[in-house]
């Protein structure tokens, strides 16, 4: 059975769009003003679904089969409700003594014919934690070493939520807002979470409310834009056959291209062809990478609706939030965004105003688990799913832990490969089988090979 899209009647050209009470992104400070997530005039005619990710989480918690989507009533949300949902996400019950951070170091090593990176955090009483940065460590290490890691030294790791906010202000780091700052912050945060999990003998998911699933369904993605429609459809069919995944994602448009296609006519030919080649039972998703203005995005979105696609990612330039909302208001397909986002307030605006129906923070680009869990908790209040963006490397290993404890995960999470080469570094090894990734059950992130990997590593200074 095909994946069903959200239900949203199309608006005619020139129809008014839903706005917040003050009419814009900056008008969110009055916490008592309800923000209606759907055009008020149409609200009584629209339906909202308990999304599949929420159903999976509830099923695991309640021991029930909730695969069928259940109707729920849409509801207005306030800034106060969203802020409350985002508060106090890290749970460290049982950790009564300070965990003073003594050192945080970044290393590079070679394995499986590639370069990898490893962070080691140590406490003053000898506890250790580790994390795997993405490949951007190759050029962001000076920011890590000079502006991020030093802030945490001497502080209590139990105060990690406050520390993540504090490093933003430290030495005016906020002026680096974006992945240049938040990637290094994420790498430190991952290592400290791993340390805390090891001290408590708990996997990371238990530090954020509890583990509710041990297998994470994945989709396979093609990053190609230089293929013909026929070549791309055949490639996707091969990926499905090789992995057992029941969902795919492919590229449309030309990447921030002002409506130009990567190859003239490719998108129009590709969309119906993918459904024809893959058949009715594969969930289809498309990523525009900021290719379109609203008018063109709606045209492409309607083509995706015709093949019953599930998700339309980043149709408009990522920072054109009102344009993205305009597209979402006009379509029934789930519009997704957030890969490039670095501001919690902008995520809050997107959620409160229903500008996207799937939020997509990247655990590295957005600054780690704590900030991303806050986004997920806000989205849950508004019955919105979260599907993480993966920025390569061992991102899959952090994603599975995040998905293990987040009820409102989307149907499928991104998988870019790598488990054959690196899955054995975890306890037990992460396995990709029949389209799903397993979650390690060891403490912290379940990293078992850190000491061996460090033997051939060089410190980045």
**CA 311, CA 3: separation in Å to the nearest integer?**
10
Question: In the prediction, which pLDDT does 23 show?
Answer: 31
Q: Are 157 and 196 in contact (CB under 8 A)?
A: yes
**101-202+452-459 CATH fold:** Enolase-like; domain 1 (3.30.390)
Per-residue pLDDT of the chain (461 residues), as tens digits, is: 334 455 433 333 333 333 333 233 333 333 333 333 334 333 323 323 434 433 343 334 333 332 233 333 335 799 999 999 999 999 999 999 999 999 999 999 999 889 999 999 999 999 999 999 999 999 999 999 999 999 999 999 999 999 999 999 999 999 999 999 999 999 999 999 999 999 999 999 999 999 999 999 999 999 999 999 999 999 999 999 999 999 999 999 999 999 999 999 999 999 999 999 999 999 999 999 999 999 999 999 999 999 999 999 999 999 999 999 999 999 999 999 999 999 999 999 999 999 999 999 999 999 999 999 999 999 999 999 999 999 988 999 999 999 999 999 999 999 988 999 999 999 999 999 999 999 999 999 999 999 999 999 999 99
On whether the CB atoms of residues 367 and 189 are closer than 8 A, the answer is yes
Report CA-CA distances (Å) from 376 to 99, 162, 407. 27, 19, 9
> Does the 206-442 domain belong in CATH 2.60.120.10?
no
pLDDT of residue 76: 76
3-state secondary structure of 96: coil
Query: At 85, which helix (H) or strand (E)?
Result: helix 79-85
Peptide bond into 428 cis (omega under 30): yes
pLDDT of residue 375: 98
Is the Cα dihedral 208, 367, 20, 379 positive or negative? Answer: negative
Q: What is the pLDDT of residue 201?
A: 97
Residue ranges per structural domain of the chain = 101-202+452-459, 206-442
- pLDDT at residue number 177: 92
Alpha-carbon gap, residue 401 to 203, rounded angstroms: 8
């Amino acid at each position: 059975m095909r994946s069903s899209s959200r239900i949203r009647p199309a608006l005619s050209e020139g129809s008014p769009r839903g706005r917040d009470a003050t009419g814009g992104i900056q008008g969110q400070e009055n916490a008592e003003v309800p923000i209606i997530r759907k055009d008020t005039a149409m609200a009584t005619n629209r339906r909202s679904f308990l999304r599949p990710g929420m159903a999976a989480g509830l099923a695991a918690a309640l021991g029930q089969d909730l695969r069928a989507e259940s109707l729920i009533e849409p509801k207005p949300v306030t800034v106060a409700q969203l802020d409350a949902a985002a508060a106090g996400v890290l749970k460290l019950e049982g950790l009564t003594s300070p965990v003073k951070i003594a050192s945080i170091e970044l290393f590079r090593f070679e394995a499986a014919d590639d370069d990898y990176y490893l962070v080691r955090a140590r406490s003053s009483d000898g506890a250790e934690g580790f994390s795997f940065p993405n490949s951007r460590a190759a050029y962001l290490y000076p920011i890590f070493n000079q502006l991020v890691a030093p802030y945490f030294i001497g502080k209590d790791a139990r105060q990690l939520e406050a520390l993540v906010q504090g490093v933003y202000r430290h030495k005016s780091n906020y002026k680096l807002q974006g992945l240049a700052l938040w990637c290094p912050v994420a790498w430190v945060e991952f290592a400290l979470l791993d340390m805390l999990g090891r001290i408590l003998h708990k996997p990371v998911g238990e530090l954020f409310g509890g583990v509710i699933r041990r297998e994470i369904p994945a989709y396979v993605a093609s990053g190609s834009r230089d293929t013909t429609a026929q070549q791309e459809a055949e490639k996707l069919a091969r990926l499905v056959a090789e992995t057992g995944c029941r969902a795919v994602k492919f590229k449309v448009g030309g990447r921030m291209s002002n409506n130009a296609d990567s190859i003239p006519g490719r998108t129009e030919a590709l969309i119906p062809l993918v459904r024809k080649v893959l058949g009715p039972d594969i969930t289809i998703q498309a990523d525009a990478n900021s290719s379109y203005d609203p008018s063109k995005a709606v045209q492409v979105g309607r083509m995706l609706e015709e093949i019953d696609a599930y998700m339309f990612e980043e149709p408009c330039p990522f920072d054109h939030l009102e344009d993205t909302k305009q597209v979402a208001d006009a379509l029934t397909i789930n519009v997704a965004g957030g890969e490039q986002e670095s501001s919690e307030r902008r995520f809050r605006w997107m959620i409160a105003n229903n500008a996207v129906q799937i939020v997509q923070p990247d655990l590295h680009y957005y600054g780690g688990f704590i900030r991303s869990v806050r986004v997920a908790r806000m989205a849950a209040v508004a019955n919105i799913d979260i599907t993480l963006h993966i920025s390569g490397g061992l991102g899959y290993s952090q994603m599975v832990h995040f998905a293990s404890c987040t009820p409102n995960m989307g149907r499928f999470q991104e998988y870019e490969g790598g488990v054959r080469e690196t899955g054995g570094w975890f306890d037990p090894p992460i396995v990709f089988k029949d389209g799903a990734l397993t979650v390690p059950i060891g403490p912290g992130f379940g990293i078992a090979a850190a000491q061996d990997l460090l033997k051939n590593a060089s410190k980045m200074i």
